[in-house]
Amino acid sequence: MTSTRDRLTEAMADLLWERGYAATSPHDVLAKAGVGQGSMYHHFSGKHELAVAAFRSAIDTLIAESRVLENENDGSTPLDRIEGYLQRPRPGTKGCRAGRMTQDPQVVQDPELLAEVARAFDTQADRWTRAVEQAIEAGELPGTIPAQDLALALSAVLQGGYVLARAHGSQEYMDRAVRGAVALLEAARAQTGTTKETA
């Protein structure tokens, strides 16, 4: 059975994703969690402490998902892992849990919340970079590619895909952005003389 604290944290995480920090009230959280009026203040000092806990939990989930970039024991090549992570199902029209927070003025002005956003992007960037470096070392990508720059470009493809999907109200824009990135990676792989089958 889910504890009251967990229900509050999950409700706040969902509302942060749907509405953002500024537009979420304690009353909204209590209603979504289905708990009594005093429950939040029994577990948290207020909205901010609950938001930090909820956002930290959501960021932990995002970080855990990107671990597939490091999974060197599943028989896949580094570039296959990169492409596989790009192609993971993502709800484009809902936006990225971390990326959307950068558009919330109260989050940007809050060092504690902003630090969680930075933690998400920094951890993912490190994993992207290492995977690109491994793909270069394995001969799947040309050695002339700057690994850190490509890592940031791939992250930007996903964030841009979210923005385009939300702007058009269509998942297709996220899917097309990902397909384009994969096509460019495959073109770069072809320059090395390898293919998905021979890599």
Give the DSSP letter of residue 169. T
195 vs 13, higher pLDDT: 13
Whether residue 17 lies inside any domain: the answer is yes
Domain count along the chain? 1
> Structural domain of residue 64, as residue ranges?
4-191
pLDDT at 107: 87
Backbone angles phi, psi at 23, to 5 degrees: -90, 5
* Statement: residue 127 has pLDDT above 80: yes
Asked whether the predicted pLDDT for residue 160 surpasses 70, the reply is: yes
Buried/exposed code over 72-81 (b: 16+ C-beta within 10 A; e: otherwise) = eeeeebbbbb
| Of 176, 124, 173, residue with least CA distance to 153 | 124
CA 122, CA 163: separation in Å to the nearest integer?
A: 20
How much is the average pLDDT of 44-54? 91
b/e burial code for range 13-38 (CB count within 10 A of at least 16 → b): bbbbbeebbeebebebbbebbebeee
Whether 196 is covered by a domain: the verdict is no
82 lies in some domain: yes
Amino acid 111: pLDDT? 92
Residue 137 within any structural domain of the chain: yes
Q: Is the pLDDT of residue 102 over 80?
A: yes
Q: Write the CATH number for 135.
A: 1.10.357.10
* Dihedral sign, Cα of residue 71, residue 152, residue 194, residue 89: positive
pTM of the model: 0.85
Q: Is residue 197 part of a domain?
A: no
**Confidence class for position 1, pLDDT limits 50, 70, 90:** low
Strand (E) or helix (H) holding 199 = none
